[in-house]
Amino acid sequence: MYIDLAKIDEKGIVIDDTVSFGKEYIEKTPIQKLDNVKIKGRAYYSVTNEIVFDCHVEGVMVLLDAIDLEPINYPFSFEISEILSECDDEKDQNKIKTLDIMDILWQNIVLEVPIRVRRDPDKNYHLEGEGWELVDEERKKLDPRLAPLLELLEKEGKE
């Protein structure tokens, strides 16, 4: 999504759009799908001739459950306020000046991704199956092959 900086007047440019992020954005993240992200805000020049980009972003990202890897819709909503300085190089003055806000949006969306998400934290999940078992400190079992070693350590501790 590009903004033509030459069209920004004293009131700025109003942005009210919906964008989707393709595979090139989400391929190395825990996000499975990110469509229909709503952006409402504006871009304008500040008194110091810097570009200010203020907007509200909301949408739903699809993440995987931390326990059973089922897809979960995770809603998000946040504000962005970015100040971008304009480059005054002679080379840039001859080019059409545009601002790609997709990268700014993407950087802020990635900050909203939780480390772990669970569909129902109170749900009782299966903690064992065929050939595997989830072991925590409360359910820790001693491997029978290590029993002689434990006896030896206890014997050494008594002496």
Question: Structural domain boundaries of the chain?
Answer: 2-121
The answer to whether 28 touches 43, Cβ cutoff 8 Å, is no
Query: For the residues 91-112, what does the mean pLDDT come to?
Result: 79
Tens of pLDDT, residue by residue over 52-67, are: 889 999 999 999 988 8
The token duo for 152 is: 């030896």
Q: What is the pLDDT of residue 90?
A: 47
First to last CA, the chain: 75
Model-level pTM greater than 0.75? Answer: no
- Residue spans of beta strands (DSSP E) within 27-85: 33-45, 51-64, 71-84
Average pLDDT, the chain: 84
Q: Rounded distance, CA 159 to CA 157, Å?
A: 6
Amino acid at 109: I
Find where tokens 């089922």 sit.
70
Paired tokens of 136: 């925590």
Q: Residues 37-43: what's their mean pLDDT?
A: 94
CA 84, 5, 39, 26 dihedral sign is negative
**pLDDT value of residue 95:** 57
